[in-house]
Amino acid sequence: MKTNPLSLMLYIAVVVNPGCGAPTTATTGVVSPLVVTSFSPRDVMDDRDETIRIQFDRPVVGEDEVGISVARPPVVMEPAAELAAMWDDRQTLVISVVDKLEPSTRYTVKLTGDIAERIDDEEFSFIFKPLESEKHFGVNLRWTDTMPRIGLVFNQPVNAADLSDMCVIESEFDRSKVPVDTADDSLKGEEMTSRGFADTVAVGVTEQLTVAAWAGNFDGKLTRGVVAMDGAAPLVRAGLMIGASGRGLTLPAKPREIVAEKICPLSGKPASADCPHAKREYFERGRIPDGRCDWHVMEGDRLVVNYPREASRWAANTANAAGRALP
């Protein structure tokens, strides 16, 4: 049997040309559903880019609609938030969040209207700015008291009363749970917030000039460990030099309420005669730590360090990690 090539070509052309944006199956003629090929953010949205992008597997709108704000965005968000939308190209929808979103909140994005009727999975979700500890100030026995407080810096306001429920803190050495103390009356019901190392501040005071300097990132990004001594203090010095214009600057008299004391940098207590090192620290009168350092003890001609029970394990682990023995 011979086949007319012209009729075969016409038949194929009719089957494979379904029309823009609405493919049909060759056998039934039913419009196949739209498919979302990518959605962002997938899991987490931070406050540096509050944009949602949804890309489909084929063109959805005409070329004349690209780059123009959509009068009625084909999406809604729960919890509710005002949205603005625009087609970045014929198959990529870009959604901007107009309202201020709540941190640590899961938001669900739902497609609506004609698009929702043409798609199988029209719902996506993400968490906006989940609670994270950006920085912690650990224990360094060379410079702190015996049992210092360990400061945690979060990326958003945190209610101190909820910390024990929201956070699990473990020791890196034995994986034991470390309790979170929120018994301080000054913290109850208050919010603590800091952008750890997001900015630095330093102030210089002389009898002639007062100079204050701020150094950091205007967008709130962390400065990755830059402290005020390295960030803001050089600016204060430069300001003092400029302001002095060659004249001498003098310091104001030390307040009578401030007193100096030599402190053992290991124990944080006033240095004893056995302490091999001491550093001068300034205190408000009446606030000098009680007693003398009892960590350093001379046994004959040998200096021994008697770490208290609370610090002995940490000191041993720190020494082992550094490849040295405890003194």
Beta-bridge partner residues of 199: 216
Residue 27 confidence (pLDDT) above 50: no
Number of H helices, E strands in the chain: 6, 18
Residue with tokens 């010095």: 237
Query: How confident is residue 25, by pLDDT bands cut at 50, 70 and 90?
Result: very low
What is the reported pTM? 0.45
Q: What is the pLDDT of residue 162?
A: 67
Please choose, from the candidates 239, 186, 188, the residue with its C-alpha nearest in 3D space to the C-alpha of residue 211: 239
Token duo for residue 316: 């041993």
Please choose, from the candidates 37, 46, 184, the residue with its C-alpha nearest in 3D space to the C-alpha of residue 104: 46
* 268-272 contacts, C-beta under 8 A, 24 or more apart: 268/143, 268/144, 268/145, 268/146, 268/148, 269/145, 269/146, 269/293, 269/294, 269/295, 272/296
Q: What is the pLDDT of residues 271-309, one digit of tens each?
A: 999 999 899 999 999 999 889 999 999 999 899 888 887
Q: Give the separation between CA 216 and CA 201, rounded to whole angstroms.
A: 9
Q: What is the pLDDT of residue 173?
A: 54
Domains parsed from the chain with CATH numbers = 36-128 (2.60.40.3710), 137-192 (no CATH), 197-253 (no CATH), 258-321 (no CATH)
Q: What is the pLDDT of residue 148?
A: 45
Query: How confident is residue 118, by pLDDT bands cut at 50, 70 and 90?
Result: confident
